[in-house]
Structure formats: structure tokens, C-alpha cells
Structure 1
């Protein structure tokens, strides 16, 4: 018997050969049914839309000893312009921070707060994690999907009712834990809390938003539109003190959240004080 034998399913490729050495390369551009030069040529987006925020981008960078640490707020800044993180936004961040587009994309696609599709004027996030779901979060999400849908089709996750970015447009998403289990089921609008919701109250809320109203959140700062909230997440606030206070002031703690601390105070409960010096455990010598 030949020492080479038949391999690769009887192809006759010898043991000393490789598939690469015996099979010709395919001209993928030649056989493509559509023009595919973009697969081998780098495409540079028009970054002109970001010219007004170059100064803000540089201001963010100066906050950090390493410029790449500015990437997260920089992505929020980009999102405040377009309502999403586009490919142009990724290239803008890469150019400002001296990173590759791949490095920026890896971060932008990891965090759910960075959107790849343009958001509506308002982002409505419905908590569907365990406790909120049990208390009615799933019912709220279903009711909003049906109410905001059209032509008999429910609005789905990260889909928008209305023209994205235009007044009255709503982007709906189901969210993982929003850290408000004591007040569930909860909704956030542009990351501000609306607690103890029901399907009926949630529908009334989005109807008010679509009508141009800005209902007061249960706690936290007054409601802003999505792009303004993104600018604030990037770290930019009104310079005037009165305007700043009007933007951020609001009730921050709910009675339910403080109930344990109040109960301990009323009953005189105290925790064992943490020791000033804690000895480290012995490390086994090798």
C-alpha cells in the first residue's frame, strides 16, 4: 500500500501535503455576485458631523492619565450627537484616542447602553429580570409592545415607534436588573426611574411622552430627552449654577429603600464596628 494513502475523505492528498498546497485559492472578489471591494479596502466615514464636539472630546481626554480611559464617556458623547454609536462614531473615537476601530468596536458592542440603531427621543427600558418579571414586568413589556406597535405587529426589543430621533418617538427595550427591586416593577425613561408601574400606568406614561410631555420621574433628576441624557453621561452639564441645580435636583431615595435603616434606627440596632486593623492570613510558603 502506498505510504501516502487517501485522506480528506478519499481526496488523494498525500500525508506530506497540505490542503493549502494542493487546492488553488478562490478569487472571492471575482466570484462575488455584488461588488465586494469594500471587503479588502478600508472605508473611511465622513466625520464632519462630529466637528462641533471635538473640543468636548479633548476635554474628556484631559480628565484621565491614559487617554484610552476616556473611551466610555467618549462613546456617550458620540451618542449624544447621532442617538447611536455609528461606524463614523467609532472612527471618531478611534482617531481622538489613538486607538484602532477594532478596539473601539469591542467596547461599543459589549455594553448595552451603546446603541447601534438610532434611538427615539425617549428610550423606555422595562426591567424584565426575575423579581420585576414576577411582579408584572413581563406584562408591562408586552402591553407596551402591543400599544406601540403598528399594523398588528408588536414593537420589539430596541425597536422604535415613530421616526427615530424625532419628537415623540419611543425606543422600547427590555432591560436586565435596574437595581430597584424594592420598587418593582420599574421602568426607566432615558435612565430616570418610574417605580411601581402597572401595564396601565406604563401605557399612560408613553402616551404622555409621545404627546410631548415630560412626566416627573418617581425619584431622581427631571426628565430629559435621550440625547441630552447622553451628553450628561459624558460629563457635560449647564455652567449656570441655577440651571445646573434645576437639571440635577430631585428626590433620590424612596421610603422603601430606606426602610431597613429606619427600622434599625427606631429599634436601636447597630452593627459591630469594623476593626481598625485586620490581620492578613498567613500565606503558605512554597
Structure 2
């Protein structure tokens, strides 16, 4: 039997991504409401627009749908993110979002891999000399992770503490911390998408002086092993331009792109 090409594999992975990770599964643990094909995900401080397909919508009907989501959250004084994918139709959706006052943020590449393949590829690379990687559910560790993220990005990430507490409480997230001499030097978490075959890999930021030592790969390895242990077939990442090449060298395949469009109400 002929081995499937990467093109064949990407088609299969993209179909699974669209079927399993879009729509309701993006809103499994927060309040939602619906408007036609879209699901409005109502986080405490912001909104998120999710959908599986906008097929059949165009022109004034699509413009009206976009405006309703913008105005719904603006009435609550909240920003809202409309997450586009590069393969979605209609092709002019980004232009219509911009015309409605949404602003594009950084484009990311959606990469996916088989969990078991990553475990095999990274065998023996789940440890870094001088660094301890462990799974944690301790709020004090979450506070230290938030402080590390604040140092990496040069802005206040204190909100991450409560976000990790919330995620941990739902039983669908594992948080891993990397330490050297008692200092948090990196952290990452695995988000298990209940009712799907997917684990989302989040985080992975590392203090500048600890980059290039294999910590990022080690965190991928431990999360892949955990996903296999829990029976999740696929790993998925919305990868930045920094992370995407690393992940693709590890065996992840790029299936599409994603760009958030955000509307922030005045005041």
C-alpha cells in the first residue's frame, strides 16, 4: 500500500480540525449564545466568535451578522475576537471585518501532529540538564508562571494566575513548569478538548537566558506523552512565527492559518 503523502495527511488533519475543534468545542466551559451559524462565547471580560462554517452567507447578510456580534459585546463594554482561518469562505471575510471596525492581530499557523509520533520522535528529549520539569496544580506555581510570562513579554500577565486556576478546576488542563535553581524559567500547558481527539498545546514561553537549551522541546515531549496516556490522538498548536518552524521540524504539519480580528469599543 502506498504511504500517504504530506498533502494527503494535511487534508485528513484539516478535516478533523474543522469537524472537532470548531463551533461548540471552542466554548465547552463558558457561557454561550447563538446567532445563526455563530456561537458567541462569553468570557468574563471579553467575547469570542466561534463557528464551523459561514457557507451561504455573503454580502449584506454577512455584514449584518458581523455588526450584530460587534454591537452585542460593545453594549456590554467588552472587546470581541472573531477568529478567522485561512481556508475559510467567503474569501473577503477579513475585508468585511475590517470595514466593521475589527483590527487584525498577528497571524499564526495551525499545526497538528499525531501524539504518538511526537512521543517517538522526542524519545529521550523530555529532560534538560539542570532543569526540572513537573506537573503542577498549585496556585503559588501559577503566580510564579504569571511572573515569568510578565518578564518574557514585558507586560502584566498577572491575569494568567486566575486563568490557570479556572482551567485546572475544570479537569481538562495540565500545567507543566520548568525550574532551574528554584526559578521558573519556562512553563506550558496541555488543554484536553473533551469529546474530541485533540490536545491543544499552549504556552512554552522561556526566559531569554534559557532559550536554545531544549526546554521547549522537552515541554512538548512531556505533554505529548501525557496526551497519549489520556487517549488523545492529536496535538494542535496555534503557532507563532517563532514556534512554527520548531514544531514543523519535530513533525507537526501546517494545515491552515488563523488570524484574530478584534473589535474594542471606544471607552
Q: TM-score of the superposition, structure 1-length normalised?
A: 0.26
Determine which structure has the larger helix proportion and give its number.
Answer: 1
Determine which structure has the larger strand proportion and give its number.
Answer: 2
Q: TM-score of the superposition, structure 2-length normalised?
A: 0.27
Could you say which structure has the greater relative contact order, defined with CA pairs below 8 angstroms and 6 or more residues apart? 2
